[in-house]
Amino acid sequence: MNKSTASVCTRERLINAMSDTLQCKGFHAAGLSSLLEKAQTPKGGLYHHFPQGKTALAIAAIENSVARISAQLEYLQQQQPEPIMVLQLWLAEAEKRLEQSQFERGCPLATAALESTAEDIALRQALANGFGQLRQSLARLLDQAGIASERAQQLATLSVSAYEGALMQARVAGNSIMLRDTTRLLLELISRELPAQDTTV
Amino acid sequence: MNKSTASVCTRERLINAMSDTLQCKGFHAAGLSSLLEKAQTPKGGLYHHFPQGKTALAIAAIENSVARISAQLEYLQQQQPEPIMVLQLWLAEAEKRLEQSQFERGCPLATAALESTAEDIALRQALANGFGQLRQSLARLLDQAGIASERAQQLATLSVSAYEGALMQARVAGNSIMLRDTTRLLLELISRELPAQDTTV
DNA sequence: TGACATACAGACCGACCGGTCTGTATATTC
DNA sequence: GAATATACAGACCGGTCGGTCTGTATGTCA
């Protein structure tokens, strides 16, 4: 294992551990000790790769997560021409992830978004950018499906809202009913917005 | 100030301080010290009224918040016969609260819901009940407006989802656009569900 | 092969965490 | 007015927090 490989590994392990923790517990509940244990690295490694500490790592984890989601949406879009199906697959994926983790693993941005205060400037910026990218990805999807640009933007915002709120409710309830209900109605609504073509939902 | 009055005051100040903190920072970010300072009471008072500590106080704050929201919805319902207007007023109220607090004050349940883990049994139960009551209040509203019971349930779930997700996005963005867009589309959708009557939105 | 840089490794630190426990002031009851 | 209960008040505590700092092992390059 050469220098650069080892470095990338530790760094990525740290980012993955933080992403995981953000999904399950959020930013403040997770101590460095459990984080480092999960990443299998001692403290020196963290402060070597992220001299600004825990917050910098969280920002990196958020950016990494957003990039992954965007890539996933793009991938689905290539596989599946029907935009409504892309959305459906994406939401189904989220449901599966939630269920398979005993309703612990939600969105890596959501908890940090609610925990953050006005003082956490860099963190908030990363979160705002992240949500912005998500909305943009979805808006582009709807735009390409023939929905007017401005309307597509608004529907993308509603989609992110519904997605986040549904995950929240499903999480505390310990079942997927809320997530499924939300998903179904959201897809129904968006179907009706598509330019005339029979989309039986 | 007699015995019982003093007691109620301290207890209520504690609950209010916790509600406030849950909205602004969540459960873990808030230390007891800042909480007690906000409630203007020393540590003894907290552990007198809530022998099980911080968590018990949080549960009380959550239950209190849900009761307040339910009461508010009921009040609006009495003032305003049009159910779609009740919903609109409720969402407008949330937007005002968020803006007037420089985008810090969101939902008192949301952050705790995402921070909680499977081990926080009592807290999760309180949160699940809380969200349940909220959905029920909204479902009853829609039900009375003539929407079929099951459909009303689903729309209520979507409403809560959209509400929570929109608050989250608006919070990190530092503006109300996301909340307004979400609200508008949600109300539009629900309007279409109402039994035939001209509801120009 | 010696100089230097990278990548950890982990002992150590002060601050703050939630929680306990003893003390006291006030009200109530007999 | 003595006994008891309620409602705080805050000193104190062990543990954990995020963060720093020194040490070392391992390439990399001249």
Q: How far is the CA of B147 from the C1' of D18 (A)?
A: 53
Test the A interface: residue of B158, B179, B181, B183 with most A CBs within 10 Å: B158
Range with lowest mean pLDDT among A7-11, A121-125, B117-121, B145-149: A7-11
Confidence of residue B195 (pLDDT cuts 50, 70, 90): confident
The answer to whether B13 and B41 are in contact (CB under 8 A) is yes
**Is B6 exposed, middle or buried, given 0-12, 13-18 or 19+ CB atoms closer than 10 A?**
exposed
DSSP for residue A84: H
pLDDT in tens, A141-166: 999 999 999 999 999 999 999 999 99
pLDDT over 70 (residue A118): yes
Distance from CA of residue B34 to its chain's centroid? 22
Nearest Cα of chain A lies from the Cα of B5 at a distance, in angstroms, of 34
**Number of CB atoms found within 10 A of residue B153's CB:** 20
pLDDT in tens, B95-141: 999 999 999 999 999 999 999 999 999 999 999 999 999 999 999 99
Per-residue pLDDT, A116? 97
pLDDT over 90 (residue B1): no
Per-residue pLDDT, A49? 96
Q: Among candidates B129, B90, B181, B115, which has minimal Cα distance to A114?
A: B115
Q: What percent of chain A has pLDDT over 70?
A: 94
Which two structure tokens, joined as six digits, stand for A130?
A: 């992240």
What is the C-alpha end-to-end distance of chain A, expressed in Å?
52
**Is B115 exposed, middle or buried, given 0-12, 13-18 or 19+ CB atoms closer than 10 A?**
buried
Confidence of residue B145 (pLDDT cuts 50, 70, 90): very high
Task: Give ∠ CA B51-B7-B30 in degrees, rounded to 5.
Answer: 50
**Is A53 exposed, middle or buried, given 0-12, 13-18 or 19+ CB atoms closer than 10 A?**
exposed
pTM for the predicted model, two decimal places: 0.94
Q: How far is the CA of A168 from the C1' of C7 (A)?
A: 39
Q: Which ranges of B145-176 would DSSP assign to H, the alpha helix?
A: 149-173
